[in-house]
Amino acid sequence: MKQHSPPPRLSLRGITKQYPGCLANDDVHLDIAPAEIHALLGENGAGKSTLMKVIYGLVKPDRGEVLWDGLPIEVKDPAQARKMGIGMVFQHFSLFETLTVTENIALALGDDAGALDQLAEKIRTVSEKYGMTINPEREIHTLSVGERQRVEIVRCLVQNIKLLILDEPTSVLTPQEVDSLFITLRQLASEGCSILFISHKLNEVKALCHNATVLRAGRVSGECVPAEEDTTSMAKLMVGDDTPVSTTYPKKLGSTPLLCISDLNLHSDDPFGVHLKHINLTVNAGEIVGIAGVAGNGQEELLASLSGEHLCPDGKTITFAEDAVADLPPDQRRRWGLGFVPEERLGRGAVPEMSLTENALLTGFLSGLLSKGMVAWKKAETFADQIIDQYRVKAAGRHAQADSLSGGNLQKFIIGREIMQNPKILIAAHPTWGVDIGAATAIHKALITLRDQGAAILVVSEDIDELFLISDRIGAICNGALSPVKPTPESSIQELGRMMAGDFSQSAHEGSATL
């Protein structure tokens, strides 16, 4: 007797969602089988986020049908999604710093949490089973970023999980943590759980996923088996044949110091912040220095010191060329020639309610956009148009508000705004975070061009592949201390991963000499 294969765990049929001025999803069809790890790929604005929100009950589609185990169903809200067995781990964690692991998970489960002591035991059992051991009594602020992600995943696993949705899950992890996560995901799949894996890191998709669906401009543009493709062919499905998706860059070492940090110590006022300890670093004209690190290890404090958001009483700890600037505010540092791309896009990189023209003016005011104290609006509009055009920012024009853009497109606008001012020193935090592969390639080329024009560039990122691609020298920050910084060809991903975990393998004296 012929056996029938089970229906897909999840089927989407003709999902369509229209927003004002944007067709986010256009007749999307998608099938995910039981025990399948399925990748959802696409450039920024392709419709991935909207589709995830439809599956999780955060957005109601205008047209189309959702089938669960072969039966049509309407997912009204996330609570219903969780009862069905759908769990979702967002790119930005939603955890309360001062609460314990158990308390955070209990809040997420609501009425289904039960007694805290029983939940704590379940958390301990489930986390150990999947190799993600967590102490349920730990407060969140004491956990590393990798451990916080474990909390988010375990929150899903303590339910009867049948489909796990992961949005850019490896963007904040060390290579060793990525390996551990993949072991967990493969174990989950072997037990019948379906996984929807959203990522821009195509080498990881190729290593992990059984099948992939590609979205472009809201429609399904292709499907593939990642193991049978290379990263270039998958990238072409995402962005088309006309967009460059990969390249290599020659390494260069500058000789004239432009940015110098000398024995910088900083006591953080934030109760959950990190104190900087004896930071020494030189970035020369005509080179890119990359600093890796898992979030929460001092990057924010270092960036605030360099941008001028945090002033240091001893002005000589930070110098631009030979000018002491550590006690100078941000506008004076910009007048010297500093460009800065902050980690937080909305609120620091851009004002949400302001137009792109107004946001271009925020830091571009020194580029001839003011005349006798008055705004030269035509010039400001032209500057905004140039950023939108050169960096292929998907927006409804220069009058669009910043918060109407997808995260990746806003990032393109912010970094384009800084690079197009031709700064002498550029400090960029996560320059291509959340940006699709085509846009990332364009940003990398712009950084290399700026380097070759003589700028000193410091890139702080959690994306190790990116740092090895564009950095001339490379190092890591951990718990407020900076590792030795060495020429990139002399380092390795494994070594950098160890340094991100605090294993510098050299004495502080040797590290300072290297710098």
The domain spans of the chain are 10-239, 257-337+427-514
**What is the 3-state composition of the chain as percent helix, strand, coil, each rounded to the nearest 5?**
35, 25, 40
pLDDT at 244: 61
pLDDT at 511: 37
295 within 8 A of 172, measured Cβ to Cβ: yes
Report how far residue 430's alpha carbon sits from residue 253's, in angstroms, rounded to the nearest whole number.
22
- The strands making up 63-68's β-sheet, listed across from edge to edge, are 22-32, 10-19, 63-68, 71-73
Report how far residue 373's alpha carbon sits from residue 375's, in angstroms, rounded to the nearest whole number.
7
Segments in 77-133 forming alpha helices (H): 78-84, 101-109, 116-129
pLDDT at 291: 95
CATH 3.90.330.10 for domain 10-239: no
DSSP class of 3? P
pLDDT at 143: 80
87 within 8 A of 163, measured Cβ to Cβ: yes
3-class SS of residue 171: coil
16 within 8 A of 51, measured Cβ to Cβ: no
Q: In the block, which residue shows the tokens 């256009």?
A: 26
Mean pLDDT per 10-residue interval, the chain, length 515 residues: 76 92 90 96 83 93 94 91 88 82 88 84 88 87 78 85 88 75 91 92 90 92 91 79 69 91 86 85 96 84 90 83 90 93 84 93 86 87 92 88 83 92 93 78 90 95 87 93 93 87 60 35
Report how far residue 47's alpha carbon sits from residue 25's, in angstroms, rounded to the nearest whole number.
6
Report how far residue 376's alpha carbon sits from residue 360's, in angstroms, rounded to the nearest whole number.
12
pLDDT at 514: 34
pLDDT at 507: 38
For residues 273, 277, 282 and 287, what is the CA-based torsion angle, rounded to 10 degrees? -40
Q: Thinking of the domain 257-337+427-514, which architecture would CATH place it in? A: 3-Layer(aba) Sandwich (3.40)
Contacts of 283 (CB under 8 A, 6+ apart): 254, 257, 258, 259, 260, 289, 425, 456, 457, 458
Asked if 10-239 and 257-337+427-514 have one fold, the answer is yes
